Structure 1
Amino acid sequence: MRNYRYLTLADREALESRYLKGERPQDIADSLGMHVATIYKELKRGDTGDLDCNMRQGYNAKLAQLRLQQNLKRRGSKAKPEQQKLETVTT
């Protein structure tokens, strides 16, 4: 079984600094010990909508952290099937 974990703000800041230096996502993934798909997903999460100094999509670690926290808060817990039946009957 693999051990999954969320990226911390420190991980995101390290990713941001390496990305701004012009490193490839594969090299960043290798240095941080993550899969390259994780890096691409993270770059998408922290996309600023502007180009950086390397003419690539901009990345901001604090923006990515904020979006993650908003997504986790919005996710919530799902109702059990019995509760769903009761909610539909009472409404």
Structure 2
Amino acid sequence: MDNNKQNLTTDELSTIPLDHNWYQKLAVNFEIIQRYLDKIDADDLKNKFDDMSEQLNVCETNTQAIVNILSNYDVPIQIVNGKVVDTEEGK
């Protein structure tokens, strides 16, 4: 969207006959929203996501290792669509 054409909807509020109290409430709402936006740190979120992804990979690797060990002892299980399932003997 072209910056010249971007107008805030709130810019149109000045033409509406609203009392001063309403404008104060609106300003407070924006202040509340701004506090939460300030808390959002993209780098921190990325680090948390990377940590969770790494933990998930470790869990998947461990699950696969356990299934492989049990399969070596003829336990009828395997991983299907990311889930450990019982298999019938001989399959």
TM-score when normalising by structure 2: 0.28
Return the structure number with greater helix share: 2
Q: Which has the higher contact order (CA 8 A, sep 6+)?
A: 1
Rg bigger for which structure? Answer: 2
